[in-house]
Amino acid sequence: MRRKKRQHSSSKNFMVLIMFLTTLIIVGGLLVVRQLVATQQRQDDLASLKKARVKAAASRSRLVERQRASIARSKQKTAESEKPSMPSGQSHLATASAYAYPVAQVKQEMTEPNTSNIKEKVVFLTFDDGPNTVNSPRVLNILNQEGVHGTFFVVGRQLSPATVPVLKAIYDGGNSIGLHSITHNYNVLYPGRVGATAAIEHEAKLEQTMVKQALGPDFVTHLWRYPGGHFSWKGLAYADKGLARLGLDWIDWNAAVGDALSQAQEPKTEAAMLQYHLRSLAVYPTSQVRVVLMHDALGKDLTVQTLPKIIAYYRDNGYKFGVLE
């Protein structure tokens, strides 16, 4: 009887063990499956995250490219807007085109000899501060008699019913016309010796209108000479850009006769003026292009008297006579 009880108890324990092991296997299997599912989910999440990062990087790259393209377009538009918008028309009659030279090429040849398209010796006789009814006609008569031409940089305040016919005669004579400000007032244009951009642009724009009204709708000049010369003042970079927007380019000189000096310093005789001129050439000894600074203003009688000899010097030395445009 006791043996049967023991057998029954052993059998019962064995069944419990089997059930426990079965439960353990099932639970373990479920845990393994759960772990596998979790691992796969993590892998899927990592893959999705990687795809998202790749997509985001590609999106950022496209955005950067669009921004770069936009910046490039903006820079191009800015550069185009800052280019000189050269209007139609000329600073001289069409017949003067045969001996007219672009101001940019002349400037280049002045500062970097033998680098421009100008391959010959050319002289540009320039006259500042007119027109007037005394010396301007005298200069014009000499040019006509000598069969040469010049470039006249006119001051706006000099224009009047009496002087406009003189300006027209200069223009009709095959000469070129440039601008030289309205006031020629250093205190207005260069206070503290620094360029006043707004004042310079204002005077240039106003003078463009005034000279065009005097010479007609076909007249348009691209020429500007700073009173006192560009090299004399500071801070003209913005004014230069402003002039360029008006279609103007500035030019100085590389030869002179001394008539811009103070009364105490200027030459007093033709011989002294000729000597001054020769000394000025030594400053730029290699240049084949000469832009000669002279004045046709009232009181510049010695310049008028010496002009035929200046012309003779350049003719004897094999120069062509040109005008700026």
pLDDT tens for the chain, 325 residues long, are 544 445 555 566 666 566 666 666 665 655 655 666 556 666 666 666 666 666 655 556 665 566 565 554 554 444 444 433 334 469 999 999 999 999 999 999 999 999 999 999 999 999 999 999 999 999 999 999 999 999 999 999 999 999 999 999 999 999 999 999 999 999 999 999 999 999 999 999 999 999 999 999 999 999 999 999 999 999 999 999 999 999 999 999 999 999 999 999 999 999 999 999 999 999 999 999 999 999 999 999 999 999 999 999 999 999 999 999 9
Using the Cα atoms of residue 140, residue 143, residue 147 and residue 151 in order, give the sign of their dihedral: negative
Tokens (6 digits) for 95: 């017949």
Cβ proximity of 163 and 131 under 8 Å: yes
CB atoms within 10 A of CB 303: 25
Residue 183 CA to chain centroid, in angstroms?
A: 25
Q: Across the strands, what pairs with 219?
A: 90
Q: CA 270, CA 260: separation in Å to the nearest integer?
A: 15
Q: Exposure of 175 by Cβ count < 10 A (0-12 exposed, 13-18 middle, 19+ buried)?
A: buried
Beta bridge partners of 293: 126, 256
Give Cβ neighbours of residue 106 (< 8 Å, ≥ 6 apart).
116, 118, 122, 124, 251, 289, 291, 324
Do 179 and 224 form a contact (C-beta atoms < 8 A)? yes
pTM for this structure?
0.74
Token code pair at residue 161: 């019913």
Residue 218 CA to residue 211 CA, distance in Å, equals 11
147 phi/psi in degrees, rounded to 5:
70, 30
